Amino acid sequence: MLNELRSIVQEVYASTDLESVLSIIVRRVKASMHTEVCSVYLRDQLGGFRLMATDGLNPSSVELVVLKLDEGLVGHVAAREEPINLDLAEDHPKYTYFPETGEERFSAFLGVPIIHQRTVMGVLVVQQAPKRKFDEGEEAFLVTMSAQLAGVIAHAEATGALRVFGPKESARFEGVSGSSGVSIGAGVVASPLADLNSVPFETCENTTDELAFFHTCLSAVRADIKKLGVTLESMLNKEERQLFEAYASMLDDTSLAQEVKLKITDGACASFAWSAVILEHVKTFSSMEDAYFRERASDIKDLGSRVLAYLQESTRKELVYPDQTILIGEDLTPSMLAEVPMDKLAGIVSVKGSSNSHIAILARSMGIPTVMGAVDLPFTRLSGKEMIVDGYRGNVYVDPDSALRTSYQAMLDEDKQLVAKLEGIKNLPSETKDGHHVALWVNTGLLADTMISLERGAQGVGLYRTEIPFMLRERFPSEKEQCKVYRDQLEAFAPYPVTMRTLDIGGDKALSYFPIEEDNPFLGWRGIRVTLDHPEIFLGQVRAMLKASEGLDNLRIMLPMVTNIDELDIARMLIDRAIEELKEEGFKIIPPDVGVMIEVPAAVFQVEAFAARVDFISVGSNDLTQYLLAVDRNNPRVADLYHSMHPSVLMALKAIVVGAHKQGVPVSICGELAGDPVGALLLMAMGYDILSMSATSLLKVKSLIRSVNLVDAKALLEEVIILPDTDAILRKLQHTLQSVGLEKIVRPSFH
């Protein structure tokens, strides 16, 4: 049964349109369960459940039979959100007779709801003429099938929206907000070289030339493989040699080339045609029951990537970025962002990731409207398409109609006016009406956000993410190269302080040249754990920072992901060693302040012990939230559970300030909560000394701080921190802001 299940799901995954998905489901489920009928009903726009595919009922009734919620047995399954298993369907009070389906012949009925993200999308039904009860195993099979298929059906439905592309139709795709604001522009697909999944669809101009080019590339890979075979000959045994030959012969396989030829003749470019054919074959092989054949899928994939590399290498054109570029990709990286000229980057859409993924944080720091986790977006097909990115609601529209475009243009204009108005407070103090001052600093990492920070009048850097310059390179930067980058940063802000965090890789921050493969990367080798295991990397970095600060003396060093006191002790010892070495080498080094980030729950409970050993404490609320709530910050599926306004997070944040202040140590916060105006208000009320945020949030936060009294903020904090859940807290905050007329400043959704 398990094999059956896997094989059906694989076959379904291999098809791209809803119609074929449904027809596979009904045909295969009917066969596996040895029944006479299998049908799928899907919820339509009016909330009814419409027969969309059947194997066994009258095919002409497809799309005609519709049941309302709780109407008939199908509607009843949907309303109850539970399976219904009957041996004599016609005896059930909800039984409704539809002559057009020929249904009266079927007595046994088993229906299970198809539920995706808590919403009933449809009902999967099997039926049989003789009176019989489907047994527990069969019921479990259908329930499992339906749970597996729900996501695929949702994806196929969303993707199907693109088929109605036209001048008057806009297709909408949902994700989560990555960076607020809206933008209207043209799609540019960021596709890493030789990645079969991300090849953008393009048409070819001359079919004959394209076919010839395709065959040249095939021959080149064939030659490469032959050469490799000769080199390895003596090392391979007979079976391995045979395998190798079979591998090479796949390229001679005329059927593979034939399929590609058909697609090219239909107008697709060679790289798209090739990747589409290979992906289809990979899916077919992966779905095979025989383990040997299943494993061949990875051979095909490997071969596919080799040919694709040739196809792309020789056609690689300089990407042309339109004036309003919407950068789209499956899994965007900082270097892909950095490649787009800053003045042309209007919006970002990522299929993977969530609102606190690092790419979203970078987008926020540059003020680029961004949608993350748009999992159903057929992104390879969007090159050059007109798109709207709604970073407030987390929606993406493709081919918008004119009414939609006009309303978003109005929103864009309003946002611009708000930003222009805020410019006026750039040089005013960040002070409440009753005279409480709270320092507003910025988080930086890219050159672009450094520039914005200076323009917005930032008075310090609370977090310089040193891993970003590491991510923009193809190897570890040398001490000298690092020194230059750090010096630029320190000089740009001097005499204001710059807090440089030591390398924080792992989790969703990967270095292409230092891959970390783990099942559970956010609980794995991250941050200080990596650098303490590689003291040469840590020391090189700290030496570069110290040298860069010579004569400026505005450096602060901060340690990420610290969980144990001894990690801090060892890191401090290494920093002291670097200082001594440099002094011996003749540098004039003034020892910088050293601080620790509190972002692991264990550190919250030991905050006093940490505070006693450092010059400052800084809270990484992004990670602290993910670890306290056990919600992966990078996973769109649980995005609505990730919330820094959760009562437990607020209580932990308050406990940190109290503990650190007991030791007389200043506390800052550099997680995204600090850049949310309402979050900033609560943090100020808790006693945070410094709020460090994306540069684009700075003036909004300042504006709100300047509009309130500290006493009122403290009273509000006392009221919300005792509320039972996030929703209650958000409602209370919203209500309070509305009642004092400040809700305009905080339009972006709370994170």
Binding region for ligand PEP (CB under 6 A): 361, 463, 465, 504, 599, 620-623, 670-671
- From the list Mg ion, ligand PEP, none, pick the one residue 670 interacts with, judged by a Cβ distance below 5 to 8 Å according to partner type: ligand PEP
Segment contacting Mg ion (CB under 5 A): 128-136, 369-377, 487-495, 615-623? 615-623
Q: Which of residues 3 and 520 has its CB atom nearest to Mg ion in the complex?
A: 520
CB of 670 to ligand PEP, least distance (A): 5
Binders of Mg ion among residues 546 to 605 (CB under 5 A) are 599
Q: In the window 338-367, what residues touch Mg ion (CB under 5 A)?
A: none
Question: If contact means CB under 5 to 8 A according to the sort of partner, which of ligand PEP, Mg ion, none does residue 621 touch?
Answer: ligand PEP
Crossing angle for the helix pair 18-33 and 136-160, to the nearest 10 degrees: 170
Partner interacting with residue 505 (select from ligand PEP, Mg ion, none; CB below 5-8 Å by kind):
none
Distances in Å between the alpha carbon of 154 and those of 10, 66, 130, 165, 170? Answer: 16, 19, 34, 18, 18
Q: Which CB atom, from 113 or from 748, has the smaller least distance to ligand PEP?
A: 748
Q: Would you say 42 or 670 has its CB closer to ligand PEP?
A: 670
Separation of alpha carbons 693 and 139, rounded Å: 52
Q: Which two tokens stand for residue 425?
A: 């407070």
445 binds Mg ion (CB under 5 A): no
Shortest Å, Cβ 598 to ligand PEP? 10
What single letter denotes the amino acid at residue 564?
A: N
Q: Which is nearer to ligand PEP, 125 or 360 (CB)?
A: 360
Q: Which residue is nearest to ligand PEP (CB)?
A: 620
Per-position DSSP letters for 74-105, written without gaps between them: HHHHHHHTS-EEES-GGGSTT----GGGTGGG
Per CB under 5 A, which region of 261-269, 276-284, 341-349, 618-626 contacts Mg ion?
618-626
Peptide bond just before 497 cis, omega within 30 deg: no
To ligand PEP, the closest distance from the beta carbon of 450 in angstroms equals 16
What's the token pair of residue 578? 């670097």
Q: How far is the CB of 97 from ligand PEP (least distance, A)?
A: 60
* SS3 assignment, position 740: coil
Residue 190 or 463: which CB sits closer to ligand PEP? 463
Which amino acid is it at 279?
L
Name, in order, each residue with C-beta under 8 angstroms of 522's C-beta and a sequence gap of 6 or more: 506, 507, 508, 626, 632, 633, 634
Q: Which of residues 493-552 bind Mg ion (CB under 5 A)?
A: none
CB of 463 to ligand PEP, least distance (A): 6
The Cβ of residue 19 has, within 10 Å, a number of other Cβ atoms equal to 12
Residue 287's binding partner, choosing from Mg ion, ligand PEP, none, with beta-carbon cut-off 5 to 8 A by kind?
none
**Nearer Cβ to Mg ion (210/508):** 508
Q: Cα dihedral sign for 184, 203, 309, 248?
A: positive
Q: Whole-number minimum distance, CB 728 to ligand PEP, in Å?
A: 24
Q: Which residue among 210, 390, 567, 623 contacts Mg ion (CB under 5 A)?
A: 623
Residue 298: count of CB within 10 angstroms of its CB: 12
Closer of 308 and 359 to ligand PEP (Cβ): 359
Query: Could you tell me the smallest distance in angstroms from the CB atom of residue 626 to Mg ion?
Result: 9
- Residue closer to Mg ion, measured from CB, 396 or 442: 442
DSSP letter for each residue of 559-591: E-S--SHHHHHHHHHHHHHHHHHHHHTT---PP
DSSP string for residues in 372-439: E--TT--GGG-TT-EEEEETTTTEEEES--HHHHHHHHHHHHHHHHHHHHHGGGTTS--B-TTS-B-E
**Distance from C-alpha of 630 to C-alpha of 180, rounded to nearest angstrom:** 25
Work out which of 353, 620, 679, 748 binds Mg ion, going by CB under 5 A: 620
Counting beta carbons within 10 angstroms of the beta carbon of residue 671, is it exposed (0 to 12), middle (13 to 18) or buried (19 or more)?
buried
Catalytic residue among 76, 155, 281, 358: 358
Active site (annotated) includes residue 269: no
Q: Stretches 373-381, 422-430, 622-630, 729-737: which one binds Mg ion (CB under 5 A)?
A: 622-630
AA identity, residue 557: I
Return the number of the residue (198 or 466) whose C-beta is nearest ligand PEP.
Answer: 466
Beta carbon nearer to ligand PEP, 158 or 698: 698
Element (H, E) at 680: helix 677-686
The backbone torsions φ and ψ at residue 677, rounded to the nearest 5 degrees and listed phi first, read -50, -45
CB 346 within 8 A of CB 325: yes
Q: Is 217 designated active site?
A: no
Asked if 146 contacts 55 with a C-beta cutoff of 8 angstroms, the reply is no
User: Which residue, 120 or 649, is less far from Mg ion as judged by CB?
Assistant: 649
In whole angstroms, the minimum distance from the beta carbon of 294 to ligand PEP comes to 37
Largest CA distance in the chain: 95
CB of 449 to ligand PEP, least distance (A): 13
Q: Which stretch binds Mg ion (CB under 5 A): 494-502, 512-520, 612-620, 650-658?
A: 612-620
Q: Please, what is the minimum distance in Å from the beta carbon of residue 100 to ligand PEP?
A: 58
User: From ligand PEP, Mg ion, none, which one binds at residue 11 (CB under 5 to 8 Å depending on kind)?
Assistant: none
Q: Counting beta carbons within 10 angstroms of the beta carbon of residue 482, is it exposed (0 to 12), middle (13 to 18) or buried (19 or more)?
A: buried
Closer to Mg ion by Cβ: residue 101 or 531? 531
CB of 617 to Mg ion, least distance (A): 14
The listed partner (ligand PEP, Mg ion, none) that binds 55, CB under 5 to 8 Å by sort, is none
- Compare residues 567 and 623 and give the one whose CB is closer to ligand PEP: 623
Q: Measuring CA to CA, how many Å separate 239 from each of 223, 225, 233, 235, 246?
A: 21, 17, 12, 12, 11
Instruction: Tell me the Ramachandran region of residue 194: left when phi exceeds 0, alpha when psi lies from -120 to 50, beta otherwise.
Output: left
- Of 401-409, 577-585, 616-624, 731-739, which segment contacts Mg ion by CB under 5 A? 616-624
465, interface contact from Mg ion, ligand PEP, none, CB < 5-8 Å by kind: ligand PEP
671 binds, among Mg ion, ligand PEP, none (CB under 5 to 8 A by kind): ligand PEP
Number of residues that bind Mg ion (CB under 5 A): 3
- Do the Cβ atoms of 340 and 327 come closer than 8 Å? yes
Residue 331's binding partner out of Mg ion, ligand PEP, none, with CB under 5 to 8 Å set by partner kind:
none
Q: Which among Mg ion, ligand PEP, none contacts residue 468 (Cβ within 5 to 8 A by kind)?
A: none
**Least Å from the CB of residue 66 to Mg ion:** 50
**Cα gap 301→296, rounded to integer Å:** 9
Give the length of the chain.
751
Binding at 54: pick from Mg ion, ligand PEP, none (beta carbon under 5-8 Å per type): none
648-667 as b/e, with b when 16 or more CB fall inside 10 Å?
ebbebbbebbebbbeeebbb
Q: How far is the CB of 625 from Mg ion (least distance, A)?
A: 10
Orientation angle between helical segments 710-720 and 726-739, nearest 10 degrees: 150
Residue 463 binding result from Mg ion, ligand PEP, none, given CB thresholds of 5 to 8 Å by partner type: ligand PEP
Which residues partner with 109 through β-bridges?
86, 127
Q: Which does 531 bind (CB under 5 to 8 A by kind): Mg ion, ligand PEP, none?
A: none
Amino acid identity at 560: P
* Active-site entry in 38, 269, 483, 670: 670
Binding site for Mg ion (CB under 5 A): 599, 620, 623
Residues marked as catalytic: 358, 670
